[in-house]
Copies of this chain bind each other. A is one copy, B any other.
Amino acid sequence: MYIPTLDDMLAAHDRIAPHIHRTPVLTSQYLNDLTGAELFFKCENLQKAGAFKARGASNAVFGLTDEQAARGVATHSSGNHGTCLSYAAGRRGIPCTVVMPRTAPQAKKDAVRGYGGRIVECEPSTTSREAVFAQLIAETGAEFVHPYNDPRVIAGQATCSREFIEQVDGLEAMVAPIGGGGMISGTCLTLSNLAPHIKIYAAEPEQADDAYRSFKAGHIIADDAPVTIADGLKVPLKDLTWHFVKNHVTDILTASEAEIIDAMLMTWKRMKIVIEPSCAVPLATIIKNKHLFAGKRVGVIITGGNVDLDQLPWQTK
């Protein structure tokens, strides 16, 4: 297992700079007053393709040799990683194939295709996905880019917190959502090297709290089909992300579904940005654990803004 280093992050940042936004940091007096903390929000929902995953995907795609690149890239993801890998592959002009359950939302399929990616459908089961994916790789020789358990991807995500500490002085804590752990691992990579005094908190839905339970148990525990509105956070930790979580995360905090929806609506209403449910989890945990953050300068990573605008979770039918 290769653990990405600070140099990998620095090389990634040079490599991807032409393909990503240096996203802005926003503040809200209302949320500061509410929490007693001084909050800074790094808006990766305003990132290319609408999510931080454009960083890791771009790093993987633009790090390939021409020979590798010619065979294209492939992944399995019904979320932002598939969209962002299509985005990056499109920028390089190489093929991208995403294996996705045939039951995935049409909007997700459209997003992948919108960036020029090809979708290969599987049945909505792990067995089918693995079989279809293995066949695809065998046929095309495409480079597999895992959504998070990949050193190239983690080095790419790590560029986010590098920008963040350049943009905001004196941060004392940083909070990011945790699903598979790609963003948190990148955050750990950067901060443990460049700003080790900053405490790193991971935020997770109570209803998909496998990372929390893993952290407390000291080994990876995977949830069996968790149900949460924060659909980007359902996937389990893997060996590489577990390495970073285990060694560098201060604590994992959880929030209920109602708390997540409240924090999401509050963010839309007060900050005027479109965020997915997953990125509301950090704010929900900060509101719930004021004692940890009051009086501190706290960085919050808003991870993405890809959400169904036809039906929002606070709207009753």
Chain A residues within CB distance 8 Å of chain B: 21, 24, 26-27, 29, 45-46, 48, 50, 265, 268-269, 271-275, 305, 309-312, 314-315
Q: A24-B26, A272-B273, A273-B274 are in contact. List 18 more A-B contacts (CB 8 A).
A: A21-B27, A26-B46, A29-B48, A45-B272, A46-B272, A50-B272, A265-B309, A269-B309, A272-B274, A272-B305, A273-B273, A274-B274, A309-B312, A310-B314, A310-B315, A311-B315, A312-B312, A315-B315
Contacts of A314 in B (CB 8 A): 309-310
Report how far A25 CA is from B24 CA in the complex, Å.
9
Q: Please give me the residue from chain B that is nearest to A317 by CB atom.
A: B317
Q: State how many copies of this chain the complex holds.
A: 2
Report the minimal beta-carbon distance from A302 to chain B, rounded to whole angstroms. 9
Contacts of A315 in B (CB 8 A): 310-311, 315
Q: Please give me the residue from chain B that is nearest to A265 by CB atom.
A: B309
Enumerate the 7 nearest inter-chain pairs by beta-carbon distance, A residue then B residue, closest first.
Answer: A272-B305, A24-B24, A272-B274, A45-B272, A46-B272, A268-B274, A273-B273
Report the minimal beta-carbon distance from A25 to chain B, rounded to whole angstroms. 9
Contact between chains at A309 and B273 (CB < 8 Å): no
Report how far A255 CA is from B89 CA in the complex, Å.
36
Report the minimal beta-carbon distance from A87 to chain B, rounded to whole angstroms. 9
Contacts of A26 in B (CB 8 A): 24, 46
Report the minimal beta-carbon distance from A72 to chain B, rounded to whole angstroms. 22
Contacts of A269 in B (CB 8 A): 309
Report how far A311 CA is from B314 CA in the complex, Å.
10
Report the minimal beta-carbon distance from A283 to chain B, rounded to whole angstroms. 16
Report how far A24 CA is from B24 CA in the complex, Å.
7
Contacts of A311 in B (CB 8 A): 315
Contacts of A29 in B (CB 8 A): 48
Report how far A6 CA is from B115 CA in the complex, Å.
45
Report how far A46 CA is from B273 CA in the complex, Å.
8
Report the minimal beta-carbon distance from A40 to chain B, rounded to whole angstroms. 13
Report the minimal beta-carbon distance from A297 to chain B, rounded to whole angstroms. 18
